[in-house]
C-alpha cells in the first residue's frame, strides 16, 4: 500500500535519512518536506534533489518570524523559481507561542500568500490559536487557485464549509489520535468533504502514543519524542476507521487529493 505524506520535516536532524529510506521501502511515496526558515531551505533543496518523491516546500514559519534575516523574501522567491514543483510553507499564524508579534506574523503571512498566488503554488498553513485572524486574512485576499492545506486541522467545525469553498484541504495527523481530540477526529467523517482530506506525519513532530507507532526514533535534544516517517501507516489505519473504509481506500483517497493539490498541472 502506498501513502503520500502531506506534511513533514525530513530535513530536521531528528530524522536520519535511513528512517526515510525505511519508510519508503514500506510504501511511503511522495512527501512534502516543509522548510521553516531560510536556515533550512538548502537542506530541503538537497532532499528534493536526492529523491523526486521529496517534494520541496519553502516557507517562513511563524515561530521563525522574529529571527528571519533581511532578504529572506527574495531568497524565498529564488527557491520557488528554482523548484517549479515546490509549494509555499510552512507558514501561518500562531498566537500560542511565547512573545508572538501578531502584526509581524500577519505581514509575513500576506507576503507568502501573495507569492503562492502569483506563482500558483500550493500553500501550507500552520494555525494555532489564531483562527479568527486567519479567516480575516483568507476572506479578503486572493488565494492560490489550486488550493491550500490547513495542516493538522484543529477546528472549529463551523468554519469547514466556508474554508472548503475557499479551497482548503485538511490533514489528519497523530494529533487526532489523542483521546481528548475525538471531536476533531469525527469532523473528518461528519464535516470535511472527502475530496479535501489529506494525511500527514509532521515528522519528527507530533509523535503518537506507542500503540500508534510502527518504528521508533531517538528523542530530540530536548527529550521530545520523535515521530518516525513510517508511523503514517498507523495513522492511516485510524483515519480509515474514522471514515469507515479500509486502509487501502483511505490511502487511495488521500493520494488522489494529494495529487490534485500538490502535483497536478497548474490551472
Ligand atoms: Zn510542520
Domains in the chain: ranges and CATH: 3-263 (3.20.20.140)
Cα of 241 to ligand 1 centre, how many Å?
Answer: 24
Phi, psi of 103 (to 5 degrees): -65, -45
Cα of 8 to ligand 1 centre, how many Å?
Answer: 6
Q: What was the pLDDT predicted at 265?
A: 76
Phi, psi of 102 (to 5 degrees): -60, -40
Cα of 202 to ligand 1 centre, how many Å?
Answer: 5
- What pTM does this model have? 0.97
Residues found in the chain: 267
Cα of 151 to ligand 1 centre, how many Å?
Answer: 8
Q: What was the pLDDT predicted at 155?
A: 86
Query: What b-and-e string marks burial along 132-152, b requiring 16 or more CB atoms within 10 Å of the CB?
Result: ebbeebbeeeebbebbbbbbb
Coil vs helix vs strand at 34: strand
CA angle 237, 264, 117 (to 5 degrees): 110
Would you give per-residue pLDDT tens digits along the chain (267 residues)?
Answer: 999 999 999 999 999 999 999 999 999 999 999 999 999 999 999 999 999 999 999 999 999 999 999 999 999 999 999 999 999 999 999 999 999 999 999 999 999 999 999 999 999 999 999 999 999 999 999 999 999 999 999 989 999 999 999 999 999 999 999 999 999 999 999 999 999 999 999 999 999 999 999 999 999 899 999 999 999 999 999 999 999 999 999 999 999 999 999 998 754
Q: What was the pLDDT predicted at 266?
A: 58
Cα of 9 to ligand 1 centre, how many Å?
Answer: 6
Q: What was the pLDDT predicted at 264?
A: 85
Cα of 44 to ligand 1 centre, how many Å?
Answer: 13
Amino acid at each position: 500500500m502506498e501513502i503520500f505524506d502531506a506534511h513533514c520535516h525530513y530535513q530536521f536532524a531528528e530524522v536520519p535519512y535511513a528512517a526515510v529510506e525505511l519508510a519508503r521501502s514500506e510504501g511511503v511515496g511522495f512527501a512534502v518536506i516543509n522548510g521553516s526558515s531560510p536556515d533550512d531551505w538548502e537542506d530541503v533543496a538537497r532532499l528534493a534533489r536526492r529523491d523526486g518523491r521529496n517534494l520541496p516546500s519553502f516557507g517562513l514559519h511563524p515561530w521563525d518570524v522574529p529571527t528571519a534575516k533581511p532578504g529572506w523574501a527574495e531568497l524565498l522567491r529564488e527557491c520557488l523559481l528554482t523548484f517549479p514543483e515546490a509549494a509555499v510553507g510552512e507558514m501561518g499564524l500562531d498566537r500560542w507561542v511565547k512573545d508572538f508579534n501578531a502584526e509581524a506574523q500577519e505581514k509575513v503571512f500576506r507576503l507568502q500568500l501573495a507569492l503562492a498566488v502569483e506563482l500558483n503554488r500550493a500553500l501550507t498553513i500552520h494555525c494555532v490559536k489564531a483562527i479568527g485572524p486567519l479567516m480575516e486574512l483568507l476572506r479578503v485576499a486572493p488565494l492560490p487557485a489550486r488550493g491550500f492545506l490547513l495542516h493538522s486541522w484543529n477546528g472549529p467545525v463551523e468554519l469547514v464549509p466556508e474554508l472548503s469553498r475557499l479551497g482548503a484541504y485538511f490533514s489528519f495527523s497523530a494529533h487526532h489520535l489523542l483521546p481528548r481530540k475525538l471531536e476533531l477526529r469525527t469532523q473528518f467523517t461528519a464535516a470535511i468533504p472527502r475530496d479535501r482530506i489529506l494525511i500527514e506525519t509532521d515528522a519528527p513532530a507530533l509523535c503518537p502514543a506507542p500503540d500508534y507507532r510502527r518504528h521508533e526514533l531517538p528523542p530530540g535534544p530536548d527529550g521530545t519524542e520523535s515521530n518516525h516517517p513510517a508511523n503514517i501507516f498507523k495513522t492511516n489505519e485510524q483515519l480509515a476507521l474514522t471514515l469507515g473504509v479500509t486502509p487501502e481506500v483511505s490511502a487511495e483517497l488521500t493520494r488522489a487529493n494529494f495529487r490534485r493539490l500538490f502535483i497536478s498541472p497548474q490551472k
